Each structure stands twice: as C-alpha cells, then as structure tokens.
Chains A and B, each alone.
Chain A
Amino acid sequence: MSVGLDYQFLVKTFFIALSGVPTALIITIVSLLIALPLGFLLALSRINQIPVISQLARVYVSFVRGTPVIVQIFIIFTSVPLLLKPVFEEYHVQTNIYDINPIWYAFIVFSLNTTAILIEVFRSAISTVSKGQLEAAYSVGLNNVQAFRRIIIPQTLVVALPNICTATVNLIKATSLGYALSLREITLRAQVAANVGYNYIEAYIDIFIVYLLLCSLVEYLFKLYEKRLRKYKAVGA
C-alpha cells in the first residue's frame, strides 16, 4: 500500500506556498516598525506612571492579551468599514469601503496586537537596566534623548531581544489567520491550490514546511544579532 502522497503536487505547491511569504513578511515588518517604538514609549509611560496614558495602556494590553487573534481580526474587519464610511463620505473619497485590500486590516490588527505584547516585553526589559545608568548619563551632561539612545536602549535591547524574537515568530505564524480575510498569504494560497485536486495533506505539509523554514531563519538572525549586542556582558552572564 503506497503512502498516497502526490509528490509532484507536493513540490509544486511548495512554491505556491512560498509565494505567500512576501505578504507574511510585509505584514510582519510593518507591524514591527509601528509596534517597536510605540511599545517602547508606552512601556516607558507605564514605568514612569504617567497619568492617563499608563492606565489606558494597561487596559489596552489586557484587552489584546485576553482575546483570540482571530476574533480581533473579525472585529477590525467588520467595524473599521463602518467607522470609515462617514469619513469617506465627508471627504468624497471614491473608493468603495468594501474594496479595500484586506492587507490594510492585517496591518491594523497585527500592529495593535504586537504593540500590546511589546509593551510588556519592554516593561520588564527596561526594569532590568538600573536607574543609576540614567543618573550617570545625566550627570555627564547627556539629555534624555541621548541617554536613552546611547545607554538605556542598547542595554534594554539585549534583554528584550529573545522576547522580541518570540513575538516576531508568533506574528509570522499569526499572519496565517489572514486567510479568514481572504488575504492571499501562505496558508490561503496553498489551500486554494489544494482545492483543485483535493490534495489537502500535501498542501498542509507544504504550508508547515514554509512556516518552519521562515521562522527558523528569523530565529537564527535574531540569535546573531543578540550575540553581537551581548559583547559587553561578562562571560557566562
């Protein structure tokens, strides 16, 4: 009895799945570009207990952590058009609300999601940097921006990097949920190809492998970066 896998299809669909990688990457990169600075600033506001902002941030994090990503996607997907409709009409924008490329919704959802996660990542990472570092920076004449950029952030990053890696890899995997928006990323493209001849098992294996390769590569890159940043730490620390 043969295993029954259509190997030709397996190979062909692998490249179809691979074609969804750019989409997954774009969503990941855009979300990180927004979430990293925003998460850092909001984490700072939590640590310094800035009124209003820090409480809002706390509530925001609870919301995002307490709900499944797929539900967040559905909510954004259905509510944003309703919110935008009056705005579009006000400014006489020609585009139809429902014709917006779903990738924009992906940007919104994943940026919001990743920001919330990074707030917590940075909150704990920043707290590992002793306050004395900042005081020393001030006392040699650095201003706030200089102190953070040159002293605090590099040290925060070393501690935060493993968790940022986890968040990034989770983000890449979560983009698979975009198929619910008909977003033509890895999972959907492979599924569509599978629909033709009902070769689902092969398609799922391919999707699996593509994510595994992509995430492993990202982990490896993070590891390299972490090694470079850790240069100043004691051996074995």
Chain B
Amino acid sequence: MENHQIELTQERFDFTSKMKNVIFMAIAAGILFTVLGFVTESAEFKMKHFWLSMLMGAYYTFLISLAGSVFVGINYLANAGWSVAFKRVPEAMGQYVIIGGAALIAIFLLGNHDIYHWMGEEAKNDPVLVGKSSFLNMGFFVASSAIFFGLYFFFTRKLRALSLKEDSIEGQDKFGGKIFHTCRRYSNVFIAIFGFTFPVVAWEWMMSIDPHWYSTIYSVYNFAILWVCGISTMALIVLFLKRHGYLSIVSKEHMHDLGKMMFAFSIFWTYIWLSQYLLIWYANIPEESIYFTQRGVGTATEPNNFTLQFWLNLGLNFLCPLLIFMSSTAKRKPNVMATLGAIILIGHWNDLYLMVMPGTLGENAHIGFFEIGATLLFFGIFIYVTLASLAKQNLITMGHPYLEESIHHEVTP
C-alpha cells in the first residue's frame, strides 16, 4: 500500500480583538435591553418576565453547550472517524457547560418564586402539587442539578484533557491507541450517565414550569432540541472558522455530513413533537390537552396570543429544514447551511419560548426587551467561552488515531 501521508500543519485559532469586541458589544446590548425591559415593562409581571427570560437564555445555551460534550462522547462510543477533523469545536462548546449550569442554578435560587408555580405559597394548598413535593422541592432540585451539571463538566474536562495529552505524545500513542481507548471508556460512562440524568434535568427545569401537566416523552423532546441545536451551532462555528481561513482539512464532505445530521434530527424533532401532540390531541384528556390549548391551539375561532408562534414552530423547525436540505447539493453550500443553521436556532428559540412562557405568564407573555436581552447576553458569553477555549490550544487533534480517516473522508453511498 502506498503511504498517503499528508503534510499536516498545525493551526491555532487567533481570537482577535475585533471578534472579542463584537461579542462584548452583544453582551453589552443584552444588558442594555434587559435594563430597558425593567424600565418599560408593567410592574405586575416584570419580575416573572425577567426571570423566565433569563431561564430561557441560560437553558438554551446550556443545552447547546452540553450537546458539544455529548457529541464528543457519542463519537467515541460509535467509533466514528469522520468527525475528528473538527473535534476541537464540540470540545470547546462543552467548556461552557459549567457556566451555563451555574447560571441556571443561580437563576433558580434567585428567581424560583417568579418562575415555578410549585415554589409559591399557594402550592401548599394544592393537593396535586403536595403529592409531587417529594420530587419538586428546593433541596432536591438544587442538589440534583448541581451533581448532574458537575458530572457533565467533569467528563467534558476529562475527555478534553485526554485529547490534549494524546496530541502531546504524538507518534507513539497514535499507533497504540491507548489514550483513545481510555477516552472511549470515559465516554461510555458519560453517555450512560447523561442518558439517565438528562430526563431529570428536563423534568425539573422545564416540565415543572407547568407543574400540573405531565408527558412521558418530554425528556426526549428536550434531547431532540439539544441535539439538533448543538449540531447546527457546531456547523455554524466550523463555517465561521473556515471563513477565517482555519480548518482547511474540513472539506465539503464533512459539511455534507453535518448537513445530513441537521436535516435528519430536524425530522427527528418533528417526530417527537408529533408523537406528543398527536397522542395528547387524540386522547383529549383535559389535564393533558390544556398544555396545547394554552400554547396557541386555542379554538378554531379564538386563536390566542401564541397561535402564530405555534405554527411558526413547525414552519421553522420542520418545513424549512425539510425543504431547504432535502437536496444533497444544498448541504454542500456554505451559505445555504449558514442560513438554515440560523433558521434552526431561531426556530428552537421559539420552541423554547413556547415551553417556558405560557405556563407562568399565559396571556401576559409577549416577546420584548427581556427575551432579546437575555438571549444576547447568554449567547454572547457562550460564544466567548467557546472561541476562547478554541484559541487556547491547537485546532487539529494531531494525536487522534482516526485523524487520517477523517481527512480522507468522503461521502459515499
């Protein structure tokens, strides 16, 4: 066999002050919008609106960041080689997990009464909520979240540390795959822990906003959002890096596969959405169907203030990916992918809005300064942390045994 050794030159991302300034401006704008929110909002729902917006921003970025760690883990688990060329990107995304997690816990500690109905005084006289109190209580909520987020962060750091070590002893370990196998073992444990703890995170942080309502698929639904948004963000960051001249080893073939995943998991999200909606609609049990009645279905003659967003949810998250990414040539065009990535991220922002706001604010919800401010703030921090940690070490995982496979990756049937 001929030796197809490619001359690889290591790259390092330069986090320029220009980029930093743009991010700082976004964060500053986020803070400004939040202040404007405090000035303009009516006093009655101000605090509720503020805390719900913060929760939404923090949870959204937390999900996307966690998707980075899970992506790294799942690729080890599946023994996948194609994604190694841009492995540093999901690794870097995961570094924000602890910040997002800490922000969430801080939001809970400070704003729980405004966000969660079950934390209020009236919950003590509500027999249904009293029945749930051994799960929905402050102690368990904070302790379990802290442990879970800590575990996610531990595995994120561990996998990254091992990957960096793998790079430093390039040459020898590459052929033994010793560190690679250690990574696989950590990933196995990580994904198992993630699989069993993430549902609890989804129940606690999201489902309990509507504390009387329940749905068994809810945790899968949250996972679907995590995954599709994580993949889309990853694709956007890779495109950004390529536009600035980095990651030349990431070819159209890799982008094509990322595109396939954006497409496939948008359909997966729709499948989960439909499973939940169809079954609740069909059985028409009032305790369950109230969820969708509140969220825009209303009655045919009386749409409520979420009706537009209800349909937008399906349009942005299902129809757009379906129609735009059905063709395989579209998946290979950077501009189309960037557009669709943005659509998916906006679409699931809307999706989360429908999960978070109606339960507590109901008819008083409206998209205002608070939501935009919180989103800018948390996305600003997330992007900053991700790019900063990308800049901290080499962009190419030189020591990874599947690097060469990935460089020669080709999309074949």
Do A and B pair up? The answer is no
